[in-house]
Amino acid sequence: MGLSLKERVFMALLGIAAASGLTMLILILVKATNVFLPADTKFGIVFDAGSSHTSLFVYQWPANKEKDTGVVSQALTCQIEGPGISSYISDPTQAGKSLKSCLEKALALIPQTQHQETPTFLGATAGMRLLSQKNSSQASDILAAVSQTLSNSPVDFWGAKILTGKDEGAFGWITINYVLGMLLKYSSGQWILPEEKMLVGALDLGGASTQISFVPQGPILDQSTQATFRLYGANYSIYTHSYLCFGRDQVLRRLLAELAQRSPVALVRHPCYHSGYQATLPLAPLYESPCVHTTDSLNLTQNITVEGTGNPGACVAALQRLFNFSSCKGQEDCAFNGVYQPPVRGQFYVEASYPGQERWLQDYCASGLYILVLLLEGYKFSEETWPNIQFQKQAGGMDIGWTLGYMLNLTGMIPAEPLSQWRAQSYSIWMAGVVFAVLTLVAILGAAAVQLFWTQD
């Protein structure tokens, strides 16, 4: 005996309801599966245009976790051939052209389909800060040249700018604490904020400047040295200061000029150079930097002969004369040159520039002794706090420096709140909404079926 019309309609409506519910269930399962499927990789490019050289860094991260912590890794580093971009004052276009070889290596690594969505930045540091002080027009021409090169490349170029010393120090602090998992870490199935005492300080010695950044024990009394952040739901206030003209290359230049001014003749006895070293140098290039102050009595057209004497004690004394320690007498919270600094606290990671070319060998003794004077007498590390310093170029497989922190900041990849929790809550709300929609649809279809069933009578 066949089914009546109302029974066939009723069964059809129930079938539609079941099919709709099954379809929504499949969508739920697909959505849930997609949460755990491996995502595409995204990339970011940062040029570190330092005073003595330029480096390119390529960072990568899973696309679906770009706002989580600990997922960014360093995919490529490339050293640009030639000097820093501030050296191209006579032909700024060459500054832009110098970037092309490393950029090509980066583009070869990144899939072509992602080139146009790869954020690319160029940050210039102390070398360009000095040039901008000396001749702002020349600095602008160089920035325009590198910007044109990068704008014409198939990337998402976000611009080229000269970083302030404060930004350079602050971004370096973010980088090292991000890499070491000090800002947020995953433990026992949840994201947790590490204790503040675990945060590390950052020390950076470049070619033209040096930076110190750390979380002090007490309040920061000089607001010009304070940088504040809200990272992963926590507020951070760090002390940071940058000393222009106290980078390695500028200190060596200032040291030689200081010794030359003390020599009555064109023979300069250099205590930091080894005994037996001798070289004849033009005097004028020493005074091209704004860091080196000249006197009217100097004849800049002459050459000088530099002889090494190999006297470590005299070398330290000469380096100490480059600092103004007397300006801090009677002040506890003071480093040198009258600059406020609270006592150093906690672990510190140092990144220092160590040129490997043979032509720098004669400067290794001066550089090493300068680092000692800077850390012990300048930044006020002591015998007790010295073991807290770690000299490393890398941490967690990534170079220590400002570039990663700079990219994370500009791309918004460091959120104010831990987004993994927000994502879980949003997903739960979405799931509840889908389930509610399914149940509502089934109820509506069921009601329609019942009404049709009774009206057929």
7 is an active site residue: no
Beta bridge partners of 209: 244
Question: How many C-beta atoms surround the C-beta of residue 333 within 10 A?
Answer: 17
Nearest CA-CA partner of 248 in 340, 350, 388, 333: 350
Residue 266, classified by CB atoms within 10 Å of its CB into exposed (0-12), middle (13-18) or buried (19+), is: middle
Q: φ, ψ for residue 71 (rounded to 5)?
A: -105, -10
| Marked catalytic residue, from 104, 117, 168, 196 | 168
Q: Taking the mean position of all CA atoms in its chain, how far away is CA 255?
A: 30
Amino acid at 153: S
Nearest CA-CA partner of 178 in 43, 74, 45: 74
Q: Which residues are annotated as a binding site for ATP?
A: 207-211
Distance CA 406, CA 142 (A): 21
Q: Helix, strand, or coil here: 204?
A: strand
Residue with tokens 């003794």: 365
Sheet order of strands, 226-231 included: 226-231, 234-244, 209-214, 201-205, 348-352, 389-391
Distance CA 361, CA 367 (A): 10
Amino acid at 85: I
Enzyme catalytic residues: 168
